[in-house]
């Protein structure tokens, strides 16, 4: 199959899935900022995106994108390892000029993956999945699903979790800064003029996404100290 056997096809899958996930992060981050601006509005969003059919369809689609992106990332890394072997440890001027994030995408990806797992446990399993089980007749506590503000206030009052979350966001920033312009490069935006612009845009976009998520963590952790 061309998308699996061709180097261009594999990179194309990585680029398209990655770009789609970045769009989701922009949406998700914007939704999170509402938690600071309007707690009532945030709870309304949580209700709208609860265990409703359209939210479940979106969740399944997002899960497919994440799985495809992760599997292709490991597959490409394995192929690169087989092709280059121990040469990847050689130090050259060309390698020294490569961005740190580019040379450590696998490690950053693993940290991001672990963070996603923790995030899913806290925000999907305890909210949408619990609400879905309740709708099916299970005797479960849905207070976290119905009071999103109360839940994130409780969650980010924990300094350990807040710190872990911020470390995850730091890894995500490095991953996004490289991944965004790399994806567009694969899709054809690869001339010298646009590559310089795309690098700048990738830093702005990654910083915006991470700041939107981090702002909620810092805000509610700060509230736990002064309230």
pTM of the model: 0.82
Other CB atoms within 10 Å distance of the CB of residue 128: 20
Q: What is the pLDDT of residue 1?
A: 56
Q: Where are the domains of the chain?
A: 2-226
CATH of domain 2-226: 1.20.1300
Q: What is the pLDDT of residue 13?
A: 84
pLDDT in tens, the chain (227 residues): 555 566 677 778 888 888 889 899 999 999 999 999 999 999 999 888 888 888 899 999 999 998 988 888 788 778 777 766 544 444 444 444 346 666 676 778 788 889 999 999 999 999 999 999 998 989 988 888 889 999 999 999 999 999 999 999 999 998 888 777 777 766 666 667 777 777 888 889 999 999 999 999 999 999 999 86
Closest CA to 27 of 41, 52, 45: 45
DSSP the chain: -HHHH-HHHHHHHHHHHHHHHHHHHHHHHHHHHHHHH-HHHHHHHHHHTSS-HHHHHHHHHHHHHHHHHHHHHHHHHHHHHHHHGGGGG---HHHHTS-HHHHTHHHHHHHHHHHHHHHIIIIIIIIIIHHHHHHTT-----HHHH-HHHHHHHHTT-HHHHHHHHHHHHHHHHHHHHHHHHHHHHTT--SHHHHHHHHHHHHHHHHHHHHHHHHHHHHHHHHHHH-
Tokens linked to 114: 């672990």
- Contact between 15 and 69 (Cβ < 8 Å): no
């Amino acid at each position: 199959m061309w998308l699996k056997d061709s180097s261009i096809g594999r990179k194309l899958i990585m680029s398209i899935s990655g770009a789609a996930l970045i769009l989701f992060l922009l949406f998700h981050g914007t939704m999170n900022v509402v938690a600071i601006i309007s707690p009532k509005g945030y709870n309304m969003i949580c209700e709208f995106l609860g265990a409703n059919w359209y939210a479940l369809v979106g969740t399944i689609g997002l899960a497919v994108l994440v799985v495809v992106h992760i599997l292709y990332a490991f597959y490409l890394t394995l192929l690169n390892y087989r092709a280059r072997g121990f040469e990847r440890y050689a130090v050259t001027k060309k390698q020294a000029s490569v961005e740190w994030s580019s040379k450590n995408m696998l490690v950053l990806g693993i940290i991001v993956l672990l963070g996603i797992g923790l995030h899913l446990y806290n925000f999907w399993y305890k909210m949408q999945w619990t609400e879905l089980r309740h709708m099916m007749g299970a005797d479960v506590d849905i207070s976290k699903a119905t009071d999103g503000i109360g839940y994130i206030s409780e969650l980010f009052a924990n300094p350990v979790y807040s710190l872990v979350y911020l470390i995850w966001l730091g890894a995500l920033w490095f991953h996004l800064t490289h991944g965004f312009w790399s994806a567009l490069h694969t899709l054809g935006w690869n001339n010298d003029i646009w590559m310089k612009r795309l690098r700048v845009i990738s830093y702005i976009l990654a910083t915006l996404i991470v700041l939107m998520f981090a702002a909620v963590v810092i805000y509610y952790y700060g509230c736990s100290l002064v309230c």
